[in-house]
């Protein structure tokens, strides 16, 4: 049995001596996975992608993942809610009663979109970057953790760690049908196929310099104003729902949320994203509705948010409103001083020369689903956050190699 220090020295030496070979492996695996057009869109848009029989078709990438795991003798499980949309989880370390660190990356991608300088599905290298749809989001990071797992096996470290490192290639991250059915992380958690203690989600960008420890909750709320239609020439005979809504919008703009400031997420936010009403200039509108996008912080509940909006409605004289909560997910935040964050910070400082900073996000990653299920999960990984979902998506090769090394160092710290 080696000590943690010995294990980490072994990893660092291995990377130093084999850097070129590791680079090549990550590049070739990313290139191969990008060729597979695992585009995930909502069912309604599927006809726009004639090469797709079903959403995502993640099995195409899963075949590559399974081949690589097999080649290295890494045991894996496959779980699918639907044929063609599998989730593959490779496990290193034999001790089932130790801690488990999950590294999930997703196999689906968003459509290529317009404006590319080259074929989005043929990766090319330029200035130490890999360019192509999915190189960053999320196939490059997936290749990085897979190669990390293979190296762990090659170094014999899987026999040394006391817990388990779980490398997960998941389906269904990029789009959600209106039925809300999830084929990826949600499915795995619901069916209890995974039960990690810690998770690192390499899907946020930030060049590995930021650790996502908290995410706001998101709710979409529709408010409808009910008036009474009448002829435009006799507005006094009707009740103008748009005027009514305008008064409510004024109240909402002035509303201040009741909340406690969160150390990382700070304050909640509200956006009035859509406002509709009226059919023609000569009709008094009988109905008007708005959509609000509200991002909440821990402590704000659905009941409290709706009560505040109701109070705004009540202030409008002769108002007649209906509030509908179209979707709701809770905010989450973990203590930035926990052992997972510390392990990432300390290893980064030692190896990469910088210490990533905990921060909070307004959007949502897998970390939310996991944290809300009591897993200590953070977002952390390579890449530029502005390169997600845009043309000429790119990722730094050096960062992918560094991330593989960091995966192993953090795993050794957490699982020893």
Q: Which residues are CB-contacts of 392 (< 8 A; sequence separation ≥ 6)?
A: 115, 116, 117, 131
Nearest to 270 by CA among 245, 252, 243, 290: 252
- Write out the two tokens for 339: 């052992």
CA dihedral 351, 354, 358, 362 (to 10 degrees): -110
> In whole angstroms, how close is the CB of 212 to Zn ion at the nearest point?
12
> In whole angstroms, how close is the CB of 265 to Zn ion at the nearest point?
21
- Write out the two tokens for 126: 């330029």
192-216 b/e (C-beta count within 10 Å ≥ 16 → b):
eebebbbbbbbbbbbebebbbbbbb
Site string for Zn ion, 84-123 (x = CB under 5 A): ----------------------------------------
Q: Which is nearer to Zn ion, 104 or 196 (CB)?
A: 104
List, as one string, the DSSP characters of 323-386.
EEEEEEE--EE--TTSHHHHHHHHHHHHHTS--PEEEEESS--HHHHHHHTT-EEEE--SS-GG
Q: Which is nearer to Zn ion, 133 or 295 (CB)?
A: 133
Binders of Zn ion among 45-64, rule CB under 5 A? none
> In whole angstroms, how close is the CB of 11 to Zn ion at the nearest point?
27
Q: Which is nearer to Zn ion, 232 or 363 (CB)?
A: 363
> In whole angstroms, how close is the CB of 110 to Zn ion at the nearest point?
8
User: How many Cβ atoms sit within 10 Å of the Cβ of residue 112?
Assistant: 17
List, as one string, the DSSP characters of 127-183.
TTEEESTTIIIIIHHHHHHHHHHHHHHHTTGGGT-SSEEEEEEES--S---TT---S
Binders of Zn ion among 260-299, rule CB under 5 A? none
Tell me the torsion sign for CA atoms 303, 308, 310, 314: positive
Q: Which is nearer to Zn ion, 147 or 170 (CB)?
A: 170
Q: Which is nearer to Zn ion, 40 or 138 (CB)?
A: 138
Q: Which is nearer to Zn ion, 84 or 364 (CB)?
A: 364
> In whole angstroms, how close is the CB of 390 to Zn ion at the nearest point?
13
> In whole angstroms, how close is the CB of 172 to Zn ion at the nearest point?
11
Q: Which is nearer to Zn ion, 189 or 239 (CB)?
A: 189
Q: CB of 262 within 8 A of CB of 214? A: yes
At residue 327, φ and ψ (nearest 5 deg) are -160, 155
> In whole angstroms, how close is the CB of 305 to Zn ion at the nearest point?
28
Binders of Zn ion among 118-157, rule CB under 5 A? 137-138
- Write out the two tokens for 160: 């040394």
CA dihedral 143, 66, 34, 80 (to 10 degrees): -110
End-to-end CA distance of the chain: 11
> In whole angstroms, how close is the CB of 31 to Zn ion at the nearest point?
18
Rounded CA separation 374/376 (Å):
6
Total residues found in the chain within this entry:
416
> In whole angstroms, how close is the CB of 174 to Zn ion at the nearest point?
7
> In whole angstroms, how close is the CB of 173 to Zn ion at the nearest point?
6
> In whole angstroms, how close is the CB of 90 to Zn ion at the nearest point?
20
Q: Which is nearer to Zn ion, 167 or 244 (CB)?
A: 167
Size of the site for Zn ion (CB under 5 A): 3
E strand or H helix that includes residue 248? helix 241-254
- Write out the two tokens for 347: 């290893």
Q: Which is nearer to Zn ion, 202 or 268 (CB)?
A: 202
Q: Which is nearer to Zn ion, 137 or 212 (CB)?
A: 137
Q: Which is nearer to Zn ion, 55 or 287 (CB)?
A: 55
Site string for Zn ion, 184-223 (x = CB under 5 A): -------------------x--------------------
Using CB under 5 A as the criterion, which residues of the chain lie in contact with Zn ion when the complex forms? 137-138, 203
């Amino acid at each position: 049995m080696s000590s943690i220090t010995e294990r980490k020295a072994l990893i660092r030496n291995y990377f130093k001596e084999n850097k070129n070979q590791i680079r090549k492996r990550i590049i070739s695996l990313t290139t191969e996975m990008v060729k597979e057009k695992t585009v995930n869109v909502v069912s309604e848009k599927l006809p726009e992608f004639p090469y797709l029989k079903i959403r995502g078709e993640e099995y195409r990438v899963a075949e590559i993942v399974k081949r690589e795991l097999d080649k290295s003798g890494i045991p894996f499980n496959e779980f699918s809610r639907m044929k063609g949309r599998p989730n593959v989880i490779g496990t290193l370390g034999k001790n089932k009663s130790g801690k488990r660190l999950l590294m999930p990356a997703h196999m689906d991608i968003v459509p290529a979109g317009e404006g590319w300088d080259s074929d989005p599905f043929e990766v090319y290298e330029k200035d130490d970057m890999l360019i192509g749809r999915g190189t960053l989001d999320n196939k490059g990071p997936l290749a990085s953790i897979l190669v990390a797992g293979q190296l762990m096996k090659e170094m014999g470290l899987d026999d040394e760690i006391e817990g388990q490192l779980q490398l997960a290639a998941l389906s269904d991250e990029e789009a959600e049908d209106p039925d809300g059915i999830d084929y990826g992380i949600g499915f795995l958690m619901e069916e209890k196929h995974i039960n990690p203690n810690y998770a690192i989600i390499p899907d946020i960008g930030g060049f590995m310099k930021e650790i996502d420890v908290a995410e706001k909750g998101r709710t979409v709320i529709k408010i409808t104003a009910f008036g009474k239609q009448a002829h435009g020439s006799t507005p006094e005979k009707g009740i103008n729902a748009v005027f009514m809504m305008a008064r409510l919008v004024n109240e909402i703009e002035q509303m201040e949320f009741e909340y406690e400031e969160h150390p990382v997420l700070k304050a909640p936010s509200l956006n009035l994203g859509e406002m509709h009403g009226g059919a023609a200039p000569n009709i008094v509108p009988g109905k008007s509705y708005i959509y609000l996008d509200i991002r909440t912080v821990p402590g704000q509940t659905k009941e409290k948010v709706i009560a505040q909006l109701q109070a705004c409605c009540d202030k409008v004289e002769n108002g007649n409103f209906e509030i509908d909560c179209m979707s709701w997910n809770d905010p989450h935040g973990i203590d930035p001083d926990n052992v997972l964050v510390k392990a990432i910070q300390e290893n980064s400082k030692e190896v990469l020369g910088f210490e990533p900073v905990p921060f909070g996000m307004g959007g949502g990653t897998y970390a939310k689903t996991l944290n809300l299920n009591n897993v200590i999960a953070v977002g952390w990984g390579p890449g530029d956050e502005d390169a997600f979902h845009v043309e000429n998506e790119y990722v730094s090769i050096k960062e992918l190699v560094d991330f593989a090394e960091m995966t192993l160092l953090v795993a050794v710290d957490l699982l020893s």
